[in-house]
Amino acid sequence: MNNFIFENATKVYFGEGCVNEYLACLLKQYGDTVLLAYGGGSIKRNGIYDEVTAILEKAGKKIVEFSGIMANPTYAKVQEGAQLAKENHVDIILAIGGGSVMDCCKAVSLASRYEGDIWNDFWMHPGVINFKPLPLGVIVTVAGTGSECNGGAVITNEEKKIKTGRDYPQCNPQFALMDPTYTYSVPVKQMISGGFDILSHIMETYFSGPNENNVSDDIMEALMKSVIFNLRAAIKNPQDYTARSNLMWASTMAENRIIKMGKKCDFECHNIEHQLGAYTDCNHGCGLAVLHPIYYRHIYKAGLSKFVKFAGNVWGIATEGKSAEEIALAGINALANFIKEIGLPTTLRELGITDKNLLKEIADSCGISAGSYKTMTHEEILMILNECFE
């Protein structure tokens, strides 16, 4: 294993009824003004908004609303939230939603306590945070990003056409309330996309050094099998509490830093997907689904033993009479078949990207991961995008 330091400052309250049971008590230690942040309105339709505002009102809190946080949150939206927080002397941000709302709010928590240009000082050039961001608590409504238990905030700068994020431990939420029943109302397409995002976070970590036996890879094999099993179960019955709770916790486990310990981590597919998102505003999990099998066919020879393990231990591919390459490719094919089976897009065209001319600019703008089994060039990323197109 590589050396590591581990810390996770977020306290998690998990299970049906947790918001009712703990929210008021959790907010007691903060001042009276709460920035209530949410997305495009799903929480108004499924009743979560009414439930939370009733708790806040009963606790005597002053609510400042910050609504309309879009999927793939923009830097302009972060600035809007920071302005609101400053003007209203907000004491804590309460983010209700998925990765987009949580990420936007982490960025707001930084921006509202920082006088400089946070885009330049923290997103473009990782800076040292030597101040306390505004406290943030989150109520998770969709499983996918795992943003509730890390300090990562993925933000799109529309002007510069860059979507990127960094994990600052100081930006970990103070608390995360996770009620799996809150995810029942997530549209099936979004549930599947979030499920694939979980799988992708695990694969992007698993397919990287070290290759020798290590506990992180063992945990990841169990997590991948769990995500595949529970995603199938949740598709069959979206109100399956067991499946929803397993997906919700797997999502946290994939991104709370535990599985990354001792690992190099790749995340090249995320680098590419983020730039696809910056140019086309595509859905994150769907973009990842298109990219993964093709990217893996480009890199598997450089990480052959891990791809062989993946095929056998995750997909149960029989190995007898097959060469290592055949086994590895069978594992990648099993992943591609799963993507088709659950109804995710398999081409950029299906994702809604129809202008092939964009691909070179997108490829050239992608970050290059140092943790990949095979270090990409911008030319190879363009090849991958072209293969993804049809």
Which positions lie near ligand NZQ, rule CB under 6 A?
39-43, 46, 71-72, 97-101, 103, 141-142, 144-147, 150, 152-154, 165, 182-183, 185-186, 190, 194, 197, 255, 270, 284-285
Residue number with CB closer to ligand NZQ (22 or 184): 184
Quote the least distance from Cβ 98 to Zn ion, whole Å: 11
Quote the least distance from Cβ 77 to ligand NZQ, whole Å: 11
Task: In whole angstroms, give the CA distance from residue 97 to residue 37.
Answer: 8
Return the one option of Zn ion, ligand NZQ, none that residue 71 interacts with (CB less than 5 to 8 A, by type). Answer: ligand NZQ
Return the one option of Zn ion, ligand NZQ, none that residue 112 interacts with (CB less than 5 to 8 A, by type). Answer: none
Quote the least distance from Cβ 270 to Zn ion, whole Å: 6
Question: Would you tell me which residues interact with Zn ion (CB under 5 A)?
Answer: 197
DSSP reduced 3-state for 333 = helix
Residue number with CB closer to Zn ion (152 or 180): 152
Return the one option of Zn ion, ligand NZQ, none that residue 369 interacts with (CB less than 5 to 8 A, by type). Answer: none
* Structure token digits, residue 330: 């069978």
Nearest residue by C-beta to ligand NZQ?
39
Rg (CA), the chain: 21
| 100 closest CA partner among 137, 79, 73 | 73
Are the beta carbons of 186 and 194 closer than 8 angstroms?
Answer: yes
Return the one option of Zn ion, ligand NZQ, none that residue 31 interacts with (CB less than 5 to 8 A, by type). Answer: none
Quote the least distance from Cβ 199 to ligand NZQ, whole Å: 11
Largest CA distance in the chain: 69
Quote the least distance from Cβ 284 to Zn ion, whole Å: 6
The residue type of 112 is S
Residue matched to tokens 């309330």: 177
Return the one option of ligand NZQ, Zn ion, none that residue 186 interacts with (CB less than 5 to 8 A, by type). Answer: ligand NZQ
Return the one option of ligand NZQ, Zn ion, none that residue 40 interacts with (CB less than 5 to 8 A, by type). Answer: ligand NZQ
Task: In whole angstroms, give the CA distance from residue 262 to residue 259.
Answer: 8
Which residues neighbour 8 within 8 Å (Cβ) at sequence distance 6 or greater? 149, 150, 172, 256, 257, 258
Residue number with CB closer to ligand NZQ (148 or 217): 148
Task: In whole angstroms, give the CA distance from residue 308 to residue 278.
Answer: 34
Quote the least distance from Cβ 195 to Zn ion, whole Å: 11
Residue number with CB closer to ligand NZQ (134 or 265): 265
Query: Could you please report the per-residue DSSP string of 220-271?
Result: HHHHHHHHHHHHHHHHH-TT-HHHHHHHHHHHHHHHSSGGGTT-----HHHH
Residue number with CB closer to ligand NZQ (137 or 146): 146
Nearest residue by C-beta to Zn ion?
197
Which residues neighbour 289 within 8 Å (Cβ) at sequence distance 6 or greater? 193, 196, 200, 339, 344, 345, 346
| Residues, the chain | 390
DSSP bridge pairs for 95: 37, 138
Return the one option of Zn ion, ligand NZQ, none that residue 230 interacts with (CB less than 5 to 8 A, by type). Answer: none
Are the beta carbons of 143 and 198 closer than 8 angstroms?
Answer: yes
Return the one option of ligand NZQ, Zn ion, none that residue 152 interacts with (CB less than 5 to 8 A, by type). Answer: ligand NZQ
Residue number with CB closer to Zn ion (179 or 197): 197
Which residues neighbour 121 within 8 Å (Cβ) at sequence distance 6 or greater? 114, 127
Quote the least distance from Cβ 137 to ligand NZQ, whole Å: 16
